[in-house]
């Protein structure tokens, strides 16, 4: 029987287990023996989903050492010969996957959003060219199918049925750990765009004029957010980036100012009730998702709308 392995992200083991859906789509129900590789932590949430879970206790100071984790998974692969290895496309998984691929001397398909398996060949779909194209990649003759897959794209709906065998490993490392942890702590944040009811969000169409967004956000009691274009340009902090490599937000109203609406940006919008987009190009993809589209300059829109809101408020005083 074929064997398939899923790497469990240490920040989100339960969600990583959803990638069993990838295995199911490739091999069918019960078509492969399923394994999980976990590094420390509690396994309660994932018991009953896998045939075997291999739990590695990381030596002190090595929790962030992806090379070491990849070495342990390679040792497991040398013993079990997996025909498929799936890694969540999270921050952690994206660091680990290429290291493991090099160790296994195999190819890696990154950021997979769709998978089909037929007659021994596996087809994987992933966004390309900033999400403007979807690339279909077929695995024809490699012994191992290896991919990183997006957690938001797969949901495993099977009931827990299996008795999971748990195998504990406490590997030793020689010498000093290569990474020294000096301090650990959570970053303090006073405001989180994920809590916002209304988000006023800016993109490449506003660039250096981004501070003007506060002019509109303030009277609406909204928070400001941005696309990655502004984060990469050093205009806004990553903490307010919406999208696949930023945050997933669910405000009642999302006002998209000068945002094109790439797949990676849209992925960060979950159950948003209404989108208002302001764009000089009415054919930008975000417009087709919007309840209201304003064709025109975003800064002019901010100035006109904020002045109108201010006047309305003054009338009410």
Ligand X SMILES: Cc1cc2nc3c(=O)[nH]c(=O)nc-3n(C[C@H](O)[C@H](O)[C@H](O)COP(=O)(O)OP(=O)(O)OC[C@H]3O[C@@H](n4cnc5c(N)ncnc54)[C@H](O)[C@@H]3O)c2cc1C
Q: Does 229 bind ligand X (CB under 6 A)?
A: yes
CB of 244 to ligand X, least distance (A): 4
> Nearer to ligand X by C-beta: 212 or 279?
279
CB of 177 to ligand X, least distance (A): 30
Q: Does 246 bind ligand X (CB under 6 A)?
A: yes
Subset of residues 263 to 282 that bind ligand X, contact rule: CB under 6 A: 264-265, 268, 278-281
Out of 262, 269, 302, 306, the residue judged to bind ligand X by CB under 6 A: 262
Q: Does 227 bind ligand X (CB under 6 A)?
A: yes
> Nearer to ligand X by C-beta: 62 or 231?
231
> How many C-beta atoms surround the C-beta of residue 36 within 10 A?
25
> Nearer to ligand X by C-beta: 6 or 286?
286
Distance of CA 261 to the CA centre of its chain: 17
CA distances from 223 to 20, 105, 202, 251 (A): 37, 46, 11, 10
CA distances from 68 to 48, 166, 261 (A): 27, 21, 38
> Nearer to ligand X by C-beta: 141 or 208?
208
Q: Does 18 bind ligand X (CB under 6 A)?
A: no
Stretch that binds ligand X, among 15-23, 55-63, 74-82, 255-263 (CB under 6 A): 255-263
> Nearer to ligand X by C-beta: 38 or 284?
284
Out of 131, 146, 200, 249, the residue judged to bind ligand X by CB under 6 A: 131
In which region does residue 282 sit, left (phi positive, over 0), alpha (psi from -120 to 50) or beta (all else)?
A: alpha
> Nearer to ligand X by C-beta: 164 or 245?
245
CB of 35 to ligand X, least distance (A): 28
CB of 188 to ligand X, least distance (A): 23
Out of 150, 243, 249, 290, the residue judged to bind ligand X by CB under 6 A: 243
- Residues in the site for ligand X, rule: CB under 6 A? 130-131, 203-205, 227-229, 241-246, 258-260, 262, 264-265, 268, 278-281, 284, 297-298
């Amino acid at each position: 029987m074929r064997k398939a392995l899923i790497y469990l992200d240490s920040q989100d083991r339960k969600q990583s287990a959803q990638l069993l859906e990838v295995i199911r789509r490739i091999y069918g129900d019960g078509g492969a023996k399923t394994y999980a590789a976990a590094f420390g932590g509690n396994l309660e949430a994932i018991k009953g989903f896998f045939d075997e879970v291999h739990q590695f206790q990381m030596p002190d100071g090595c929790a962030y050492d992806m090379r070491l984790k990849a070495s342990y998974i390679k040792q497991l692969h040398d013993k079990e010969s997996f025909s498929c290895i799936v890694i969540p496309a999270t921050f952690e998984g994206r660091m680990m996957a290429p290291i493991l691929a090099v160790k296994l001397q195999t190819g890696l398909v990154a950021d997979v959003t769709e998978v089909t398996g037929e007659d021994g060949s596996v087809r994987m779909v992933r966004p390309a060219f900033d999400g403007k194209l979807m690339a279909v990649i077929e695995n024809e003759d490699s012994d191992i199918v290896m991919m990183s897959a997006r957690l938001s794209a797969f949901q495993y709906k099977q009931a827990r049925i299996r008795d999971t065998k748990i195998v504990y490993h406490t590997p030793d490392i020689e010498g000093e750990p290569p990474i020294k942890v000096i301090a650990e702590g959570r970053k303090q944040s006073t405001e989180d765009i994920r809590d916002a009811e209304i988000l006023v969000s800016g993109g490449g169409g506003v660039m250096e004029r981004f501070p003007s967004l506060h002019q509109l956000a303030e009277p609406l009691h909204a928070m400001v957010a941005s696309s990655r274009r502004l984060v990469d340009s050093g205009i806004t902090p990553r903490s307010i980036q919406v999208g696949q490599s930023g945050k997933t937000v669910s405000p009642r109203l999302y006002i998209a100012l000068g945002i094109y609406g790439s797949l990676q940006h849209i992925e960060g919008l979950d159950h948003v009730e209404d989108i208002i987009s302001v764009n000089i190009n009415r054919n930008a993809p975000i417009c087709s998702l919007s309840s209201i589209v304003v064709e025109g300059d975003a800064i002019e829109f901010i100035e006109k709308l904020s002045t109108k809101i201010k006047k309305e408020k003054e009338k009410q005083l």
